[in-house]
Each structure stands twice: as C-alpha cells, then as structure tokens.
Amino acid sequence: MKRTLILLTVAVFSISAFSQRGNRKELAKWKDYNVGKIEFKDKSPDTKGAKIYHAIIPDPDAYITEQARRVLNTLYFSTEDSIPGVKQLNYTIRDYDGVSAKGGQPPVVGIEYSTRWIERSFANGDTAKLHFETKGVLFHELTHAYQLEPQGIGSYGTNKTFWAFIEGMADAVRYLNGGFTINDRPKGGFYTDGYRTTGFFFAWLAQTKDPDFIRKINRSTLEVIPWSFEGAIKHIFGESYDIVDLWNEYQVAMGDRPRVVK
C-alpha cells in the first residue's frame, strides 16, 4: 500500500524586489515622459472628505504625475514602447457612494475618487492609512489609463477573460508598488477571477518566474491575437508551460492547498 505524505509549504513573497523599480534611478527614464495634462477638479469642496484630501495632498498635479510614472515603469520597458497616448487626465474628487472609477479612453481619460471613501478611510484619524489607500486606489485606476488591452476577444463588458486581465493587471500593479500588503491577498479562487485573485498571481509569477513578467504580459496583448491567458503564458515562458499548472503551483506555494507527494 502506498503511503501519501501531505506537505504544506507556505511561501511568503513580498514587494521588496519590486520596490526597487520605483527608485530614483529606475524612474529617471520617465522624468521627461508626458503622462498627459492633469486636470484636477474638486466637485464637492464643502465635504469633509475633500478637506481631508487637500490636507494630505496639497499638490494633486505633482502627486498624480509621480504615481503615473511609477505605473508606466511597472507596465513598460521604456518610453519607446507602444503606450496608449494619454493627452489629458481628468482627476475628480466628488461626493458619491463608491470608491473610485476610470472612464473614457485615450487620449482623454477620467478618474473619480469618492470623498465619502476618503472620510471612511480616515475614520480613526489615521493619516498613514489614508495615504496608503489613496495611493493604492490611484495606482489601480492609473493602470487602467495606461495599460494595453487584449485583442480579438470582445470587450471589457462582453468577455470574462478580457475583464479578468484588465482588473487583474490593475491590482498587480497596485500591489507591486506597495498599494496592497500580502494580507490583502485572497485565498483560493481561480486565475480568471480578476482583481486581487488574478493580480497577486501575476505578482507571484513576476517574483518567482520572471521579474519582467508584468511588462511582458502587458505587451503580449499586441503579440498574441486572439489573446488568452494560456496563449500569453506560452508566449512568455515557452510551449512547455501551462497556466493551470502554474496556478496550482502558486496555490501550493502560498499554502492555499497542500502539496501531495506520493
């Protein structure tokens, strides 16, 4: 009778390797890149959330520009890459029940941020928590402004693969720039679930398989048509790789399921 040994291996990965991407030397190549004209508007100046925002971010234009360059540096190898031409970025804070949203397409993109969410994030007077949340939300929405999109498979609203890639990339970029902590990683699920589930998987692939994975899978939308997760993985790593196998490896590595050795 064969004996089965169950091994539970938890691999904790962090953003330390990727925080180096945001250092001055790495970002220097983006200092002259035109991220688009920033048009900041406060549509609810009398709200508590708006007052809090202005107190922690006195220069929104400079703040948004800095984070945009970090996002671009995460998504692209250089300024010579095929980058959506964002000519104007309309950033608005206003009073509504939500968090944040991106609208429009290059050359004009809009981002909204809820003053109610700002108030909730600052409920205990924790400035550090509010900075963390505000920057994290901005990383996510700016990714939507500058990322490439899958081709040949429909659209965000009609195809789950398209949607999962778009939202997964945004949360991967957010995490790799310090906008999430490892405690924000969801357990289980599947790589097509989008948002953090897909995003943390992408981050793990970048940290364990290829440090340029995010840049390569973003660029794969120009090279793999019709686009698919499996097609992109094989394009980046080679025909011997399978995305389900990598997903299972990730799940074991993170301790979401045990490794079975027979």
- How does pLDDT run along the chain (262 residues), one tens digit per residue? 333 333 333 444 554 444 445 577 788 999 999 999 999 999 999 999 999 999 999 999 999 999 999 999 999 999 999 999 999 999 999 999 999 999 999 999 999 999 999 999 998 899 999 999 999 999 999 999 999 999 999 999 999 999 999 999 999 999 999 999 999 999 999 999 999 999 999 999 999 999 999 999 999 999 999 999 999 999 999 999 999 999 999 999 999 987 654 4
Domain match, 138 and 167 both: no
Residues 138 and 159 in one domain: no
Q: Are residues 261 and 154 in the same domain?
A: yes
At residue 37, the 3 state secondary structure works out as strand
Residues 160 and 127 in one domain: no
Q: C-alpha 183: how far from its chain's center? A: 16
Which helix H or strand E contains 69, and what residues bound it? helix 60-75
Domain boundary among the residues 110, 129, 144 is at 144
Report the SS3 class of residue 7: strand
For 109, the 3-state DSSP assignment is strand
Strands 37-42 and 88-94 turn out to be parallel
Distance between CA 193 and CA 167 in Å, rounded?
A: 9
Q: Is 6 domain-assigned?
A: no
Residue 254, domain extent: 147-262
Residue 66's CATH number: 3.40.390
Residues 197, 262: one domain?
A: yes
Q: Which of 123, 144, 165 is the last residue of a domain?
A: 144
Which of 83, 111, 144 terminates a domain? The answer is 144
Residue 147 Cα distances to 84, 248, 250, 253, angstroms: 7, 27, 24, 28
Do both 133 and 158 map to the same domain?
A: no
End-to-end alpha carbon distance in the chain: 11
> Do 172 and 131 share a structural domain?
no
Does some domain include residue 44?
yes
pTM, full prediction: 0.91
Number of domains in the chain: 2
